[in-house]
Chains A and B, each alone.
Chain A
Amino acid sequence: MMMLSRRVVLAVPLAAAAGPGAAADDFAAATGAILRGRVPAAEGIALEIPPLSENGNSVDLSVRVDSPMTAEDHVTAIHILAEKNPFPLVATFSLTPRAGRAEVATRIRLATTQTIVAIAETSQGAVHRTAREVIVVLGACVETG
């Protein structure tokens, strides 16, 4: 009974959603706005997220960036993006050298099976990027935004 009623609730917003291209455009725009033409390094950043989630309403995620976290060289921002969410830029964490380590964790909503991207920016202007594929069995009902 519970599953049935949830499916009904999920199906309606899906039908009312914008075309599938909208999220992809937003994702590309959000990524471009962060990178601003810089080429990210693929190393020095680790994203941990379960490869399979039964429920997209709450998915644990953590990001760790290799950084000395000194005044001269520290991570200033960590961004989380979800390629197929209606709002692809899920979160931005702003850090200072006072953090000591560049490590953050949170819980996110995932609309569907997709790629999760983490991008870190440093005070020296460097960018690091990593990505993980995540299979979502029951997506969060985020289609209506």
Chain B
Amino acid sequence: MNMRALPITARITLPPSARRGEVVTVRVLVRHPMERAVDAPGLTPVPRRILHTLRVTYSGEEVFRMALSPGIAANPYLEFTTIAVETGDLVFTWEEDGGTIYRREARLVVT
């Protein structure tokens, strides 16, 4: 497995700040083709290349996980909630077929 996390284009939307204990909505849109394997006569074969797992940690603790499949639309979108507990980083790591890891962070400011 490739342990070095690569950057990836993603739009992560959080409120500018949250009160402690508030449930905040997190929206994540990541640029990725979610390539399904193409293996049909007359078509150029394309190997499957999808993001199959997304893990989200908040100040180091895992708070959310998603298992993705070829049935997830290209440029995967996810919306979930988390309780604001302290100012800290939400770290998003995507794992791609073949073991490549992509990583993005977003800071949640808690007042």
Contacts and interface: CB of A to CB of B under 8 A. Distances in A.
Interface of A: 9, 12-13, 15-16, 57-59, 62, 82, 85-87, 89-96, 98-101, 103-110, 140-142, 144-145
Contact of A144 (B36, B63, B81, B82): B36
A94 B43 contact: no
B73 A85 contact: no
B72 to A, nearest CB: 6
Contact of B66 (A58, A91, A142): A91
Contact of B62 (A85, A89, A96): A96
User: Interface size bucket, B side?
Assistant: 20 to 34
Contact of A93 (B23, B64, B69): B64
Contacts, number: 114
Please classify the interface of chain A as helix (H, G, I), strand (E, B), loop, or mixed, using the class held by over half of its residues.
mixed
29 contacts: A9-B43, A13-B40, A16-B40, A58-B74, A62-B79, A87-B71, A90-B69, A92-B67, A93-B65, A93-B67, A93-B80, A96-B63, A98-B58, A98-B64, A98-B82, A100-B82, A103-B81, A106-B73, A106-B76, A107-B77, A108-B72, A108-B73, A109-B73, A110-B71, A144-B36, A144-B38, A144-B39, A145-B48, A145-B70
Please classify the interface of chain B as helix (H, G, I), strand (E, B), loop, or mixed, using the class held by over half of its residues.
strand
